[in-house]
Amino acid sequence: MPIAVDRRRFILTAGLSVTGGALAPSVASPKRSTTLPASPGDWSWVRDQFDASRDWAHFASFFIASHPRPVRDAIAKLRREMDENPYTVVEHGLFSKPEEVRVAAATYLGGAPEEVALTRCTTEGLSLIYAGLALSPGQEILATTHDHYSHHEAIRLAGRRCGASERRITLYDDPARASEDGMTDRIRRAIGPKTRAVGITWVHSSTGVKVPVRRVAAVIAEANKSRAAADRILLIVDGVHGLGVEDEAVASLGCDFFAAGTHKWMFGPRGTGIVWGRREAWTQVQPTVPAFEQGPYDAWMEGRDPGPTRAAWVSPGGFHAYEHMWALPAAFAFHGQIGRARIAARIQELNSRIKDGLASMPGIRIHTPRDARLSSGLVAFEVGGRTPEDVVQRLAARRIIASTSPYRPSYVRLAGSLLNTPDEVDAAVRAVRELGAS
């Protein structure tokens, strides 16, 4: 039967429905220029693509993105089309549009579209992978103490369902002195005969430490040489604070799965994310939520098993905010227009400037490694005699948006991004110096 008829029958027979007063600014940015420079390599041009308020210095943009103009335009166009004719637009795009998104994501990730699942956030991506793993009682998932709540909870809940256990290790004692050799060696020594999966975080949002994923993957590959296929260790990476920051092709990192929201450093539509996985690894995951994909649907109609899992089949089905998910290619295109290497260099430049400025101050302790090879995207620090919450509040009074890390212990974070300028960095550093001296 032609695909067009199958899509229509899918909608009509599935029985689904839609559910569903700060102080005077000390760090204000220049007002928007009236004439945009022609080159996307010009950082003022990049800043002009965002509607983020010019009355504030945004050093927490990694939390959730302000949409750049191309992404706003793509969302608005899709929303307008769906408002005008929702049935036709959604019915015709239900199968084709996700494939367009997967193609755009795969191009950026350096992989293939059939290796990409679409999600709404990092938490959902990690949960779908861990919940779907074929784990047996007695097997374990090895994680680290530096992972986010969402990562730890996804592992805990998956283990409760099948009787697998979780074990956590520390990769370093002092984040500022973390080393690639030290982190990889601790994982090597921690792997045991019961280890079935290793979960790590590419860039720790607690400290900004960057884990050497390729070297960890090599350690796991070595351990897998003596293992049967059913006991092969899978490397699962929370990559959200590296995606859109690092000049790396995710598909070449050596991991089995890589989960990330695309509404942070990628500046994608809010409520979007991806999971990249090796084709062979996807066969070891059972889907958790029914996918709106042709393969599983045809198998259901014909009363048969759909066969080995494919990446797209792990993408949760149901009706979503299509104007956001289908606009995701605009974010990948925006990054491509600027250039991934230029973006990575700019972010490192700004955050190195933050570290250099803070390093000379008495009473300030930086917890992020100074070496750019070991850190990425954000700088975590303490101001002697003040709580992180107090520092963030006092910076906000100067119209500087910083954040606290949601971990124990908690630190202040300043994260230089494409929305920032060197002048803003210097003003933020001066404000921290004044807090430390008062």
- Three state DSSP letters for 324-360: HHCCHHHHHHHHHHHCHHHHHHHHHHHHHHHHHHHHC
Q: What is the pLDDT of residues 297-330, one digit of tens each?
A: 999 999 999 999 999 999 999 999 999 999 999 9
CA 148 – CA 218 distance, rounded (Å): 24
| 204, pLDDT greater than 80 | yes
CB neighbours of residue 388 within 10 Å: 20
Which residues lie closer than 8 Å to 52 by C-beta, 6 or more apart?
A: 58, 61, 66, 419
CA 283 – CA 355 distance, rounded (Å): 44
What mean pLDDT value characterizes the chain?
Answer: 91
CB neighbours of residue 306 within 10 Å: 17
| 25, pLDDT greater than 70 | no
Q: By percentage, how much of the chain surpasses pLDDT 90?
A: 86
Which residues lie closer than 8 Å to 139 by C-beta, 6 or more apart?
A: 164, 165, 194, 195, 196
| 38, pLDDT greater than 80 | no
Mean pLDDT over 168-181 rounds to: 98
Quickly state the pLDDT bin for 360 (edges 50, 70, 90): confident
How far is the first Cα of the chain from the last one, in angstroms, to the nearest whole number?
75
Mean pLDDT over 182-209 rounds to: 97
CA 358 – CA 361 distance, rounded (Å): 6
CB neighbours of residue 422 within 10 Å: 12
Quickly state the pLDDT bin for 437 (edges 50, 70, 90): confident
| 97, pLDDT greater than 80 | yes
Mean pLDDT over 90-96 rounds to: 92
Check: pTM over 0.85? Answer yes or no: yes
Mean pLDDT over 20-49 rounds to: 58
| 21, pLDDT greater than 50 | no
pLDDT at 92: 92
Let me know if domain 89-334 sits in CATH 3.40.640.10.
yes
pLDDT at 10: 34
Quickly state the pLDDT bin for 39 (edges 50, 70, 90): low
